[in-house]
Amino acid sequence: MSNAQWFMLLGALLLTMGLTSSMLKRAPVTSAIIYLGVGLLVGPTVLNLFHFNPLKESKLLETLTEVAVLISLFSAGVKMPAPFSFARWRLPVLLATLSMSFTVALVAAFACFVLGMPLGAGVLLGAIVAPTDPVLATDVQIRHPGDRDALRFNLTCEAGMNDGSAFPFVVLGLGLLGLHDIGEFGLRWLLLDVVWATAGGITIGVIAGVALARLGGRLRAAPYHHVLMDDFLGLGLIGLVYGVSVLTHTWGFLAVFFAAVALRQAELKLAREQRQMEPPAPADTASGSQQPQSAMLQQSTVSAGSLVFKEHLERLSELLLVLLVGGSLFIDSWSWPAVALALFLFTVARPLSVLLVLAGSGTTARLRGMTAWFGVRGIGSLYYLMYAIEHGVPEPLALQLIQMTLIVVTLSILLHGTSVKPLMDRFWKRRSP
């Protein structure tokens, strides 16, 4: 396809989505399904007008998916309910750690004993497809900062954390393949890639988020009414935190997510403190209402001010990357090992790992069942795949991993995308406004 044809295609898609957004909300399909269908149509599956080769363009795809995941993680983090509660975060933490670990183990076992792959490749494959995705799971994500729906909170929080908690298993798989130093008996991997990288990433994110919240609050409260560019501050926080994390060999995805969480938590805490310190405002004699200055503070925050812009970037990245997924598939990409892996992941590995972890948690059977099914795979899996390829995975194994990952992502878009609205409408009462 020429540049002109690409501009026409993307422009037509953007216009269509913009003009039909209200209708699509009622339709039994998601936007990702539409993008995927267009990609399959123009790609080698149907018209063969365009073919994207993930192996040859691995560096480009790694960068695109990396940026998309970072933006999505920030958006998810600033929508986390406040104030922070360890009791409420317990289930998502279990899902992002124990449940994902079980999923990696089950997929690795399937890859080794059913597909005949070596242990290192099996662990790497499990790490690639195990984490749920914050980019494509729009319909089961927290919709706004005030959304207190338990299912959406658990899934959003899980996706925010496991994009970072999957990294140790990625490097473990690379280590078992001889492409990463895991040390004797895996001790280096445990201490550096698990303990340090995880704790360090969370610490960097929390410190940066709180610092920006306090600095922004002081500048807004200055007598000269300092105006801040919230969009720039949000992007700057993402870039700075991720860069520091990479330099310190910690998990940047975790750092960005917790930076966003800490930013919003700190901003709302400062708003409450200011509200308590303010004297009651006199009533408006004309309207009979009163408007304390701090009542508008939540709107004047970096987290709230940058959220809309980040969500727009997230939608654009979804469009582009899902198009590329569709444009990467051939008819013969649908091999039985790839399809079998996807079905095993969706119907056995994910449900079993979730039900095991949530057993005895006091949650309802409906919540456990919905959580077990809605483990959407997407852009995060593509990033881990490209990351592994860029770190020296042999070409035959890389091609095998590409084929399996693309089919997993494609079937996740189709199966989860077509089931999310009926299941949410029929079996899950939406308690949030």
Q: pLDDT per residue over 64-116, tens digit each?
A: 999 999 998 998 888 887 677 777 888 999 999 999 999 999 999 999 999 99
- Using one digit for the tens of pLDDT, what is the confidence trace for 234-280? 999 999 999 999 999 999 999 999 999 999 989 888 877 777 766 65
- Using one digit for the tens of pLDDT, what is the confidence trace for 372-405? 998 888 899 999 999 999 999 999 999 999 999 9
Mean model confidence pLDDT for the chain? 86
Helix/strand/coil (H/E/C) assignment for every residue in the chain: CCHHHHHHHHHHHHHHHHHCHHHHHHCCCCHHHHHHHHHHHHCCCCCCCCCCCCCCCHHHHHHHHHHHHHHHHHHHHHCCCCCCCHHHHHHHHHHHHHHHHHHHHHHHHHHHHCCCCCHHHHHHHHHHHCCCCCCCCHHHCCCCCCCCCHHHHHHHHHHHHHHHHCHHHHHHHHHHCCCCCCCHHHHHHHHHHHHHHHHHHHHHHHHHHHHHHHHHHHHHCCCCCCCCCHHHHHHHHHHHHHHHHHHCCCCHHHHHHHHHHHHHHHHHHHHHHHHHHCCCCCCCCCCCCCCCHHHHCCCCCHHHHHHHHHHHHHHHHHHHHHHHHHCCCCHHHCCHHHHHHHHHHHHHHHHHHHHHHHCCCCCCHHHHHHHHHCCCCCHHHHHHHHHHHHCCCCHHHHHHHHHHHHHHHHHHHHHHHHHHHHHHHHHCCCCCC
- Using one digit for the tens of pLDDT, what is the confidence trace for 134-170? 766 666 777 666 667 788 888 888 888 888 889 999 9
What pLDDT, on the 0 to 100 scale, is given for residue 294? 38
29-277+294-427 fold: Na+/H+ antiporter like fold (1.20.1530)
